[in-house]
Amino acid sequence: MKILLLEDEPGISMAIERYLKKQGFEVRAFSKIMEALEAIDENRDFNLFIVDVMLPDGNGIAFLETIKTLFFAPKIIMISADSRIQTIEKAFLGGCEDYLKKPFDIQELGLKVNKIFGRLTQEISLKEGIVYERVKRALYIQGEECHLSRKEMMLLDILIQNLGRVVTKEALEDGIWEGNMPSDDALRTTIKRLRQKIGEGIIRNVAGVGYQISLD
The domain locations on the chain are 2-116, 123-213
Reduced to 3 states (helix: H, G, I; strand: E, B; else coil), residue 204 is: strand
The region that residue 113 occupies, defined by phi over 0 for left and psi between -120 and 50 for alpha, beta otherwise, is: alpha
Percent of the chain with pLDDT over 90: 46
Mean pLDDT calculated for residue range 25-42 = 93
Single-letter amino acid code for the residue at 12: I
pLDDT digits (tens, 9 = 90+) for 129-138: 888 887 677 8
Mean pLDDT calculated for residue range 125-147 = 84
Q: Kindly tell me if the per-residue pLDDT of 22 is higher than 80.
A: no
Mean pLDDT calculated for residue range 161-170 = 83
Q: Kindly tell me if the per-residue pLDDT of 15 is higher than 90.
A: yes
Domain covering 123-213 in this structure, CATH number: 1.10.10.10
Class at the top of the CATH hierarchy for domain 2-116: alpha beta
pTM beyond 0.85: no
- Fold match between 2-116 and 123-213? no
Mean pLDDT calculated for residue range 75-82 = 94
Q: Nearest Cα to 19, choosing from 98, 106, 113, 121? A: 106
Which one is predicted more confidently, 163 or 157? Answer: 157
